[in-house]
Amino acid sequence: REAYIVDSQKSLRPARYKVWQILVSLVGRERDVARKRALEALDRVQRGDNLAQIAKEYSDDSGSKRADGVIDFTLLKDFEQPFGEALTKLKPGDVSNIVETRFGYHVIYLMELMPEKKLSFEEMKPQLLEEARIAFLKSSYDYHIDTIRLDPKLKINVEALDVMRPRIPENVKPVYTPFETIKAPPRNVANP
């Protein structure tokens, strides 16, 4: 209960959005041709045509296209910024105008919104118990390892180490230079 009270941010479940969308990519298309295609799709959505069929015909996003244009409940932070901004202005059942991102032009239909919610202690209890269990196990493991490592009676069997250690002449230098660490670019979860 104390962990629940102290870390109130942990009990806040952010809003999640279930959306239908199409992406008309700029790859291999002129900007005005892509925009015209997106406007055609928007017109069909506004007329009430079948969303799955529109996604199959117009969307260049292979991930959501396989799901008939549907992106299941996703956090706002996982969407591209212009996409997310347009999404926050919609109510369930609303369709956006054309939204341009670095991927191309999108048409967005908000299917469902799971609003932000503060979880009760009872809802958080299983998660808090699991976190406490993991912290206890890690603490016990660290204590056990430190007890062994710091034991003054501990003797190192140098002969056994020498047998296990490969024999490398001292005048041999490594033939490689270690690489610098290269971080991968952040992955956009909404568009894998």
At a CB cut-off of 8 Å and minimum separation 6, what does 100 contact?
82, 106
**What are φ and ψ of residue 122, in 5° steps?**
-65, -35
pTM over 0.85? The answer is no
Residue with tokens 């239909």: 109
Q: Which two tokens stand for residue 93?
A: 């059942």
3-state helix, strand, coil in the chain (%, to 5): 45, 20, 35
What would the mean pLDDT of 71-83 be, rounded to a whole number? 88
Q: Is the CB of residue 123 less than 8 Å from the CB of residue 101? A: no
What would the mean pLDDT of 60-85 be, rounded to a whole number? 87
- DSSP symbols for 27-82: TTS-HHHHHHHHHHHHHHHHHT--HHHHHHHH---HHHHHTTTEEEEEEGGGS-HH
Amino acid at position 24, single letter? V
pLDDT at residue 115 above 60?
Answer: yes
What would the mean pLDDT of 184-192 be, rounded to a whole number? 45
Residue range 133-180, pLDDT digits in tens: 888 989 988 888 888 888 888 777 778 777 776 666 666 665 555 444
What would the mean pLDDT of 30-59 be, rounded to a whole number? 91
What would the mean pLDDT of 109-137 be, rounded to a whole number? 87
pLDDT confidence tier of residue 187, bands split at 50, 70 and 90: very low
DSSP type of residue 92: T
pLDDT of residue 172: 60
